[in-house]
Chains A and B, each alone.
Chain A
C-alpha cells in the first residue's frame, strides 16, 4: 500500500516535471535552441509570484494569472532582444549566452532576495487531501497540479496541431527560410515560441513553489528535471514529455522512500538508464 501511495505521489509530481520539459522541448523544436537559463527563469517566476502576492495579497494560485503572462512577455523580449542573435548553426553562442544569462539571473536574484529559502503559502489547500480507496489518500494540491499539467500539455497539442499559430510554429521549425516566404517573420515566431514556453513554465514554477522551498540557486535542478523528462519521453513528442515527467517523478519518489538522500540520484539514474538502453526515448517522434 505504501508503494502504491509512493507511486501515485511520483506520478502527480511528474506532471510538474512534464511542464518544465514541455517548455524546453517547445523551444528546441522550433529554434533548435536549448536555454540553459530555463530553470533559472522558472525560479524567477516563483520570485515574481512572491512579489505579486506580497503586493496584492493574493493566493498563489490566483497570482499565476498575473505571473504567467508577465513571464511570457519577459520571454518574448528576451528572445527578440537577445537570443535571436544567437540562433543559427553554431552551437557555442546560444549555449554560452544562455549560460551567462543563467549566472546573471541567479546572482541577480541572490542580490535582490538573498539566499534564504522561500515558499509560497496557499493556505488550507496545501494539506487538504481526500481518500481514494482504502489506505490511499491523494493531496488536493498535487492533484490540481497534475490536472493543470494535463490541461496545459493538451492545450499545447491543440495549439500546435489545430491552430494557425501552431501551423506557423511548425512551419518555422521545419524550414525557417521558406517560412519567411509565407509572410512569417522569424524573429516574431521565435519570440512567440519563447513566450509560450515561459508562460507554461511560469505556471509550473509557481505550482512547485507552493509544494517545495525555493532559492536562487535552484534553477539548474529545475533545468535538469525538464531535460531528463524530455530525453526519457523522447524528443519531439508532447505527450511523451508527460510520460517522461511521470517516470522521473516515480523514480525520485521510489528512491526517496528507500533512502531520503537518494531521491535526486534515483531520478538521474533512471535518466541514464534510458539513455543507455533506449537513447531515442520512450516515445520518439518518427520524423518524416
Chain B
C-alpha cells in the first residue's frame, strides 16, 4: 500500500499571524490619512531597517554567510542613485531600480573573491570590501569626494507635483519595497530552495551529498541580497537627500544596528527582524540622545542574547508557544487510508 501525503505549510498560528499581518499592512498603507509628516518619515526608516535586517537574516541566518560588510551595498545603492540622477539625468525611481541592478552586477565578482574565504575570515573580508568601496567613493570628486554631496532640488521636484505628493510617493515606495523584500524572502523559504537552505544550515556536508548545489545557492542568495540591499540603500538616501562616504558606508548605521536588530529579534526566523526592528525603534525613541551609551547597551544586550537566548526573542516565543507569523513550516500529512 503506498501512503499518499502532502506537505502542509500553514498552521493555526500562522493563519492568525498572516491575517494580522495583512491588516497591519492595510493600516500602514492608509497611514498618510492620519499620520503626520514626521511619523511617516519614522515609519519609512522602520521599513528600511526591516528590509535590511530581513536581508541580513537571509544571508547569515539561512545561507550561513555572515557578513559585516553589507554597508557596501547600501552605500553603493546611494551612490548609484546620486550618480545616475545627477550625472545622467535618470528619473529617481528608475535610478532605484538601476541601483539594484548595479548591486547585483557588483556582487558577482565580489563573491568570486570573497567565497575563497571561509567563516570568520569571510566576515572580515566583507568588511574590507566595504572599506574599499568607501575609499573609492571618497576619491570620486564628481560625487563630492570625501565631504559628500546633496541631491539637487530639481531632481527631487521632478518626482511629483507637490511636496506632499512626493512624501506620499516615497512613503509608499518604502512600504512597497519592505513588503517586496519580505514577500520575496518568504517565497524563497517556501520553495525548495528554502528547504535546501535549511538543509545547508543544519549540515552542509550532508546537504551537498544529497545533491544540493551549495555553492550556487549561496551565490544566488548573496547576489539577490546585494541587489535588494542596494535598492533599499538608494531609497534611504533619496529620502535623506544628502550623502557622504562615511554616512553611506557607515558600519554603525547599516551593519551594527542591523545585526543587533536581527540577533535580538531572532536569527534564522523570518519573524526575528520584525520583532527586532520594532524593539530597536522603541528603545531608540525612549533612550533618544544617549549616543554612544545607547550603542554600548545594544552591544551588551546582543551579547547577552547570543549567550543565553541564542534564538532571540522570537525564537523563545516560538519555542514556547509554537507561534508562527507566516506559513513557512513543513509538516507531512498522510492521507488516512
Residues of A at the B interface (CB closer than 8 Å) are 28, 32-34, 36, 82, 85-86, 91-97, 99-104, 106-108, 110-111, 220, 223-224, 227-228, 231, 261-262, 264-265, 268-269, 271-272, 275-276, 279
A–B Cβ pairs within 8 angstroms, 9 of them: A36-B124, A96-B259, A99-B256, A100-B260, A103-B295, A111-B296, A275-B113, A276-B113, A279-B116
| Chain A proximity of B109: nearest CB distance (Å) | 9
Contacts A36-B68, A108-B296, A268-B132 known; A101 to B303 CB distance under 8 Å? yes
Q: Which of A100, A107, A269, A272 contacts B292 (CB 8 A)?
A: A107
- From B116, B251, B263, B299, name the one whose CB has the most chain A CB atoms within 10 angstroms: B299
**Once the chains are docked, how many angstroms separate the CA of A85 from the CA of B305?**
13
| Chain B residue nearest in CB terms to A111 | B292
Task: Indicate whether B29 reaches chain A with its CB closer than 8 angstroms.
Answer: no
Contacting pair B306 A100 (CB below 8 A): yes
Residue among B124, B267, B302, B307 with max Cβ neighbours from chain A (10 Å): B124
Docked CA distance A231–B127 (Å):
14
Cα A223 to Cα B124 with chains together (Å): 9
Residues of B within 8 A of A111 (CB): 292-293, 296
* B123 adjacent to A268 (CB under 8 Å): no
Q: What's the dominant secondary structure at chain B's contact region?
A: helix
| B128 pairs with A227, CB closer than 8 A | yes
Q: Report the Cα distance A265→B292, complex, angstroms.
A: 28
Q: Does residue B181 face the partner (Cβ distance < 8 Å to A)?
A: no
Look across to chain B and name the residue whose beta carbon is closest to the beta carbon of A105. Answer: B299
CB of B267 within 8 A of CB of A92, answer yes
Whether A220 contacts B251 in the complex (CB less than 8 A), given A34-B121, A34-B123, A97-B307, comes out as yes
Task: Report Cα–Cα, A101/B310, bound state, in Å.
Answer: 16
Q: How far is the CB of B246 from chain A (nearest CB, A)?
A: 10
Given A91-B119, A224-B128, A228-B128, CB of A104 within 8 Å of CB of B113? no
Out of A102, A107, A224, A276, name the residue touching B293 (CB < 8 Å).
A107
* Residues of chain B in range 70-129 having any CB-CB distance to chain A below 8 Å: 112-113, 116-117, 119-121, 123-125, 127-128
Binding site for A on B (CB under 8 A): 60, 64, 66, 68, 112-113, 116-117, 119-121, 123-125, 127-128, 131-132, 135-136, 138-139, 146, 251-252, 256, 259-260, 263, 267, 292-293, 295-296, 298-300, 302-303, 306-307, 310
- A264 and B135 contacting across the interface, CB-CB below 8 Å: yes
Residues of B within 8 A of A86 (CB): 306-307
Report Cα–Cα, A118/B119, bound state, in Å.
34
Q: Which residues of B contact A32 (CB under 8 A)?
A: 120
CB distance from A241 to the nearest CB of B (A): 14
Q: Known contacts A107-B292, A264-B131; can you find 17 more A-B pairs with CB under 8 A?
A: A32-B120, A34-B124, A85-B307, A86-B306, A95-B66, A96-B303, A99-B259, A100-B299, A101-B303, A104-B299, A106-B295, A107-B299, A220-B127, A224-B127, A268-B131, A272-B132, A275-B116
What residues of B have a CB within 8 angstroms of the CB of A227 in the complex? 121, 124-125, 128
CB–CB B135/A268 < 8 A: yes
Q: Which 9 A-B pairs have the closest CB atoms?
A: A34-B120, A107-B292, A279-B116, A103-B299, A104-B299, A100-B299, A100-B303, A107-B296, A265-B135
Report Cα–Cα, A275/B64, bound state, in Å.
Answer: 21
Q: What residues of B have a CB within 8 angstroms of the CB of A262 in the complex? A: 139
Given A34-B124, A268-B128, is A93 in contact with B119 using a C-beta cutoff of 8 Å? no
Once the chains bind, are B299 and A101 in contact (CB under 8 Å)?
Answer: yes
Contact of A96 among B293, B298, B302 (CB under 8 A): B302
The interface residues of chain A lying within 8 Å CB-to-CB of B256 are 99, 103
B-chain residues with CB within 8 Å of residue A101 when the two chains form the complex: 299, 303
Residue in chain A with minimal CB distance to B295: A107
B91 CB to closest chain A CB (Å) equals 33
* Nearest opposing residue in chain A for B267, CB measure: A92
CA of A97 to CA of B139 in the docked complex: distance in angstroms? 34
**Are A99 and B120 in touch, CB under 8 angstroms?**
no
Complex CA distance for A111 and B290, rounded to whole angstroms: 11
